[in-house]
Structure 1
Amino acid sequence: MAAKLHFSLVSPERELFSGEVDQVDAPGSEGDFGVLAGHAPFMTALKEGRVTVYNESQKKVYEVRGGFADVTPEGFTILAEQAAEVV
């Protein structure tokens, strides 16, 4: 079984997602990127785009507008200026 990544997506209004996932793809200001468990730590600004959360055979998609992404040994956190789930 592959290691899981702890991921949190937070907007000014509320926390939209928090949990253990397989992978997260996000729109970095210098290009889109993906994060898996064990990723090297980094921080980057986000541009407008979609954050895709993969967990086993499920996928959730969120639209974000700006903010920051922070990858640490403990997990991956996105602090978005605006965010909403795409349904």
Structure 2
Amino acid sequence: MADKLHFSLVAPEREVFSGEVDRVDAPGVEGDFGVLAGHAPFMTALREGVVTVVDGAGSRTFEIHGGFADVNAQGLTILAEHAVEA
């Protein structure tokens, strides 16, 4: 079994998603990026766009409007100004 990435997507009003996933693709201000388990730590600002969460053969998408992404040893957390499932 491959390692899983812990991912949390948080908007001001609530936690939109939290779980163990295979990959997350997000819209950074300097370009789109993907995060897998074990990724090197970094922090970046986000632009308006789509966050894609891939787990197994399925995926879910969320529309976000700005915010920040923090990748660390515990996983990926996105703090979005606004987020809804697409």
Q: Residue 48 of structure 1 aligns with which residue?
A: 48
- CA RMSD, 1 decimal: 0.4
- TM-score, normalised to structure 2, is 0.99
Moved over 4 A (4+): none
Q: Residue 83 of structure 2 aligns with which residue?
A: 83
How far, CA to CA, are the matches of 1:12 and 1:2 in structure 2? 32
Can you give the 5+ residue segments of structure 1 that lack an aligned partner in the other structure?
none
The 5 Å alignment of 1:49-64 reads 49-64=49-64
Can you give the 5+ residue segments of structure 2 that lack an aligned partner in the other structure?
none
Taking only the aligned residue pairs, the percentage that are identical comes to: 71
How far, CA to CA, are the matches of 1:57 and 1:15 in structure 2? 24
How far, CA to CA, are the matches of 1:3 and 1:15 in structure 2? 23
Q: Residue 25 of structure 2 aligns with which residue?
A: 25
- Matched to 2:63, the amino acid is E
- TM-score, normalised to structure 1, is 0.98
Q: Residue 7 of structure 1 aligns with which residue?
A: 7
